[in-house]
Amino acid sequence: MPPEQHASPRVVWVTGASSGIGMATAHACARRGDRLVLSSRAQAPLEEVARQCRALGAADVVVAPLDIADDGAVRRAAADAVRRWGRLDVVVQNAGVAAYGRVDEVPPEVLEGVLRTNVLGAAFVAAEAVRTFRAQGEGTLVVVGSVLGRVTVPWMGAYNATKFALRGLVRTMQQENRDVPGIRISLVAPGGVDTPIYDQSATVLGRRNRPPYPVSSPEHVAEKVLRAADRSAPAHRELDAGWANPAMKAAYALAPGLFDLLSRPAMRALGFARGQRPVGPGNVLSPQPHEEGLRQRR
């Protein structure tokens, strides 16, 4: 499908743009000539993504390093974009962190950090996007969630909780903004995706994590994000990115006992790789620029 064409470039703000799905989304937007605001906590990798986006054809690129859990920084980034270009057309809320371990074993500061970024930070970005869109009368918010907002798996309780919360947040905001027909809000829910989040996540298990089969590419998820942001196409409340997602959701809903019975051996077989990782907070409490990239390191 050819990219959506515009008489003038869209203004697109992507959070978590220095790595994985956010980086792939920034690249895809650059190829269609958008103007970009790129945000993450890791400035040096973010500058490199901005350089790549300019080379790929972005009309203009601004780097806005921030922590999405800082509401003031979020508001300033949106206001700066509007001052620079007069509007903000699309906001892609993608930034997020993860932790591996039984909920009772995850350190409180790590548990709080995952909740703060994935729920509170995402809510700050979504709220500022909607405030801006309501003032303009139009705009598109795309929130990157997860199939783990529909099903649960062992040793990812903190992440699971945030993705369930995120889906509820998006669904509520869809209801609240029906009075402004120009505002579109969508959730994109990937399954396993080959990104560095598995190397960057906090862990108390000491095992190397990996995306469970079947694994999508970050570019595939970015295609779903662009589809959700395409105003020439029908609006989507929620888009899956992963062919196994519907089967997982059906099994979870229709056979919960069997799903729970199989979840631990399945997670052991599919969610961990050979090798060890140091126990620690990963990038939950502070960024790890050396781990940023498009895909997980082999």
pLDDT 10s digits, 49-69: 999 999 999 999 999 999 999
Non-local (6+) Cβ contacts of 102 within 8 A are: 154, 155, 157, 204
Q: Which residue, 17, 108, 93, 106, is CA-closest to 58?
A: 17
Question: Is residue 118's pLDDT more than 90?
Answer: yes
- Whether cis (ω within 30° of 0) applies to the bond prior to 214 is yes
Mean pLDDT, residues 266-286 = 94
What is the residue extent of each domain of the chain?
A: 11-282
Query: In the structure encoding, which two tokens stand for residue 42, read together?
Result: 């890791």
pLDDT tens-digit series, residues 165-215: 999 999 999 999 999 999 999 999 999 999 999 999 999 999 999 999 999
Position 294 scores a pLDDT of 95
Question: Is residue 7's pLDDT more than 60?
Answer: no
Q: Which residue, 111, 192, 195, is CA-closest to 151?
A: 192
Average pLDDT, the chain: 95
Mean pLDDT, residues 250-276 = 95
Mean pLDDT, residues 248-258 = 97
Query: In the structure encoding, which two tokens stand for residue 211, read together?
Result: 């995306």
Position 234 scores a pLDDT of 87
pLDDT band at 20 (very low <50, low <70, confident <90, very high): very high
Q: What percent of the chain has pLDDT over 70?
A: 97
Question: Is residue 6's pLDDT more than 60?
Answer: no
Position 8 scores a pLDDT of 72
State how far the Cα of 168 lies from the Cα of 228, in Å rounded to an integer: 18
To the question of domain 11-282 being in CATH 3.40.50.720, the answer is yes
Position 4 scores a pLDDT of 47
Kindly list the distances between the CA atom of residue 69 and the CA atoms of 15, 31, 91, 213, 224, in Å, as whole numbers in the listed order. Answer: 12, 29, 16, 31, 25
Give the CA dihedral 38, 43, 44, 45, nearest 10 degrees. -50
Q: Among 133-147, 231-245, 283-297, name the most confident range.
A: 133-147
Task: Give CA angle at 194 (191, 200), nearest 5°.
Answer: 105
Query: Which residue type is seen at 191?
Result: G
State how far the Cα of 283 lies from the Cα of 285, in Å rounded to an integer: 6
Position 5 scores a pLDDT of 45
For residue 75, the SS3 value is helix
Position 298 scores a pLDDT of 67
Position 2 scores a pLDDT of 42
pLDDT tens-digit series, residues 82-117: 999 999 999 999 999 999 999 999 999 999 999 999
